[in-house]
Amino acid sequence: MADEPQRHRIRIECPECGNFQLEPAMVVSTQCRNCRAGVSVIDGKGVVRKTSAVRIAKSQSDAEPEPSTPPPAPLAPSSPKPTFLETLQRLLNPPAPPRELTCFACKHEFTASGNAQSSQCPKCCGYLSLLDHEINSLWERSIKTCGNVLICKNGIFNAASLTCHQLTLLGSIHCPVVCSGDLVIRTHAKINYPVRCRNLMVEKGSRVEFLGTVHAETANIRGTVRGQLTCTGQVTLEKRSQFHGLVRTTSLVVQSGANHFGTVEIISADTATPPTI
Ligand SMILES: [Zn+2]
Ligand SMILES: [Zn+2]
């Protein structure tokens, strides 16, 4: 009766953000308490709930009701005709070109549908989030996605790590960064942690101080940078840019009016190890 033993609970990992939470052993579906992602539970493992495909617009609940809008279509298991939502979504999100992905776990490269929000590595079955994130306030959860991340002017990324495809930084970041694509910096920033990216782009008027190492394939500097940069490809200091510190690269281009204060080490392309992304 009142002494019913506490129900057996299981630990579910959120497939979106990696947050762990306890759920009753019989749970089939839950919501991540950290990122609010819908999570289905299959064999004690969290997987992304497929039903939440309605990511097209903000909820209209507090906007004025639209009388002509039909109620959300129930989840027909296999309706041959596209639902209103599917049609709407197709109009708003035309099919994107397929995306090239690299598995975080085994580095296997494969192609996923351009509109997918998550994918699974065909080789190791590892889960990959494809979600984009826009951060415009304090953010304290790590992100691991093949999507893009925008840290807005008021965004403060203060978690353990950030792994994404393209990162655009207008705010601040306080953790190691790994980008499989471009890292675009458009702000004054001090980055205290190691950074790995494919292409480092520091935009005009930006001033960046890297206190950790920076590894990239290529770098285009249009602003002012202080730090230690290792590139397996070309580093370009564009017009009126400044670089203070060590540059290790296979080739350095200094355009007119650009300045490098520090050491250049030219490394051969064979010995240069590409950044592990
Ligand atoms: Zn989560
Ligand atoms: Zn894999």
CA of 103 to the centre of ligand 2 (A): 5
> Which pLDDT score, from 0 to 100, does residue 75 have?
55
* Alpha carbon distance 264, 170 (integer Å): 29
* Alpha carbon distance 197, 141 (integer Å): 20
CA of 32 to the centre of ligand 1 (A): 5
**Mind listing the pLDDT tens digit of every residue in the chain (277 residues)?**
444 455 688 888 888 888 888 888 888 888 888 887 888 888 888 887 765 444 444 444 444 445 555 555 555 455 567 788 878 777 776 777 888 888 988 989 999 888 888 999 999 999 999 999 999 999 999 999 999 999 999 999 999 999 999 999 999 999 999 999 999 999 999 999 999 999 999 999 999 999 999 999 999 999 999 999 999 999 999 999 999 999 999 999 999 999 999 999 999 876 655 555 5
Closest CA to 58 of 34, 9, 92: 92
Residue 104 tokens, joined? 């975080």
Closest CA to 206 of 229, 228, 183: 183
> Which pLDDT score, from 0 to 100, does residue 37 have?
82
Closest CA to 101 of 47, 144, 38: 144
Q: Relative to the alpha carbon of 46, which ligand is closest?
A: 1
Cross-strand bridge partners of residue 102: 109
CA of 238 to the centre of ligand 1 (A): 41
CA of 120 to the centre of ligand 2 (A): 8
CA of 46 to the centre of ligand 1 (A): 10
* Alpha carbon distance 205, 188 (integer Å): 8
CA of 81 to the centre of ligand 1 (A): 32
